[in-house]
Chains A and B, each alone.
Chain A
Amino acid sequence: MTVKRQLSMVLDLNKCIGCQTCTTACKLMWTNRNGREFMYWNNVETQPGKGYPRDYQNMGGGFDEAGALRAGRQPSQEDYGIPWEYNYEEALMTGTDPWLRPNVKPTWGANWDEDQGEGDYPNSYYFYLPRLCNHCANPGCLAACSRNAIYKRQEDGIVLIDQERCRGYRYCVNACPYKKVYFNEQISKSEKCIFCYPRIEKGLPTACAQQCVGRIRWIGYRDDTEGPIHMLVEKYKVALPLHPEWGTQPNVFYVPPLSPPKYGPDGEMLDESRIPLEYLESLFGDGVAAALDTIRTERQAKADGKGSELMDTLIGYNHAEMFKLS
């Protein structure tokens, strides 16, 4: 789907500390009310893990190799996690409840398998994967909508759902392999990340990027050859899309994580990285090995005092250079 310009985001997974500040910024700005309580337009999940919604990577959707929509499974409410409430008044003020607790026994939530990962101590491994709508060039949600309710904005490629046209069929929820479209039961319509377009239109970055404590997010236009996106995605090729094989052509890219070496049985360091390369390739495709090599080389150059344009960008010295919104 051709648009005049395409906004894009790069996230450096080496810098994400899993603090959920982005999740919370997004939650308080957009999804803490009006039937959106269970939605996390931005979530941070631990990988390897089931993610949010639970097991979304095995729910289908996206496109097959021939470019046809693939069938997707509808996540259940439990797959998202039912947002439990608390008895603050009864437990803390009136004293009528014995202790402060959720109104249901929590059995699943958006960050349920936090820090679990894979492997055995001391060679366990995991990392954080913040996820938002990829504002794809070939959105599965858009292709799946029988109502023509989903469109990409010409000026920035942001994917939006026309709330007037949406009749809540949930084809888009199924079709998005990233499960980043959500059905709002209160209004019987689907909703999703809007890339904070009211902020973008004022020249401000998205709330998730603005609030990011680890400064892991860059925002800019794909065609801005002077901007950070071009440098990370095209020039150094260190930023890769999540699950490119799903065929939606995401406009959100990730710098894959390096990891420390594994330990042998006697506590000796092995020449093998903790996170298996094959695993990272299963997420980010064939470019992972080259991307990790480039980061290693450039890091060393920076450490040796030789300077590195790439590292200076990845460090993220100031927001003005991280967010190029014109």
Chain B
Amino acid sequence: MKRSFPTTTFAVLGLMMSVAGTAAADHSERNPNVTEVNPGDTVKVARIPDNIYLRTQDDPDDLIWDRLPVYRTGLTTAPPVHPSVMLRFDPTDMEAKHLYFQVAKSKDRFYIRLRWKDASEDRSTTVDQFRDGVAVQYAIAGPETSYMMGSGPDNPVNIWYWRSDQEQIENLAAGGFGSTTHLPEQTVTGASEYFPEEIAQDSEWHVVMSRLIDEDGEHQVDLSRDTIPVVFALWEGHHNERDGNKKVTHNWIMLDNSDSQ
């Protein structure tokens, strides 16, 4: 099917957003093993030794994750690219939302684990309630691809989307705003768990998504490359976030997927 994609970009606004403050209070954690990552930085994909057996493939709280490096990056409000998003856009909201992520691969599988603080567990998608969600977006080509939903149909992105109301990961592709499409090959698995705390603000979502490294199919990110550009997006249902109403990483983070140590 041939579609036309809106070509307008909001690069200026996007840049402005990307320098948004780090004064947020949602990373009280003082774990010295957590490394702060900014867009443009490179992080290493960890290797899960072949002798480690994961009892449950996508267990979001598997012990293995305690042994792998943790990165933290700040997500800020995505620039509105559609009037409906603009209507709900709060330009005064500069607060960064912190997302902790870990990336790892085994012999044949690629894993990404995400966790973040969320005071409310929003699992329902109802007439008047929105669900929590998180997505990982990969440039199918290189980092010259727009991190905002790709650069048109010829330079698309692959998106793994976890939504709190179901235990399956949607495998999507997009080539510009409004073009997000459910792919015929649903190859990504995942699992999630919400950890409520007595202090609601400290409650956390843990999400693991994974895929076989070798997968064929159009718009499936090549996970055997040495460098994989990735950004994250996060939706808090409690704040009526959906579609472009979200917080995102404002430029690619590069995953070093090479086998070098």
Interface residues of A (CB under 8 A from B): 38, 68-71, 74-77, 80, 143-148, 167-171, 173-175, 182-183, 185, 188
Contact = CB atoms under 8 A, between A and B. Distances in A.
A77 B128 contact: yes
Contact of B128 (A75, A144, A188): A75
A237 B84 CA distance: 35
A145 B244 CA distance: 11
Contacts of A170: 242
B260 interface: no
A144 B243 contact: no
B242 A185 contact: no
A146 B82 contact: yes
Interface string B221-251: 0000000000000000000101110000000
Contacts of A173: 127
B177 interface: yes
B125 A146 contact: no
B126 A146 contact: no
A146 B85 contact: yes
Contacts of A148: 3, 178
Contact of A74 (B3, B84, B128, B177): B128
B127 A147 contact: no
B180 interface: yes
A206 to B, nearest CB: 25
B127 A80 contact: yes
Contact of B83 (A76, A77, A144, A185): A144
A69 B126 contact: no
Contacts of B126: 77, 183, 185
A70 B126 CA distance: 23
Nearest to A38: B127
Contact residues on B (Cβ < 8 Å of other chain), bracket: 10 to 19
A171 B127 contact: no
Contacts, number: 56
B243 A183 contact: no
Contacts of B177: 146
B84 A145 contact: yes
Which among A38, A143, A146, A170 has the highest number of chain B CB atoms within 10 Å? A146
A76 B128 contact: yes
Contacts of A183: 126-127
B243 A185 contact: no
Given A183-B127, A185-B126, A188-B125, A167 B243 contact: yes
Contacts of B85: 146
Contacts of A80: 127
A174 B127 CA distance: 11
Interface string B56-99: 00000000000000000000000000111101100000000000
Interface string B165-188: 100000000000110100000000
Contacts of A143: 83
A174 B88 CA distance: 11
B167 to A, nearest CB: 15
B6 to A, nearest CB: 9
Nearest to A76: B128
Nearest to B3: A148
Contacts of B127: 38, 74-77, 80, 173, 182-183, 185
Which among B85, B88, B127, B243 has the highest number of chain A CB atoms within 10 Å? B127
Given A74-B127, A75-B128, A147 B87 contact: no
Nearest to A60: B87
Closest 8 CB pairs of A and B: A171-B84, A146-B82, A169-B243, A76-B128, A144-B84, A71-B87, A77-B127, A69-B83
Interface in B1-46: 3
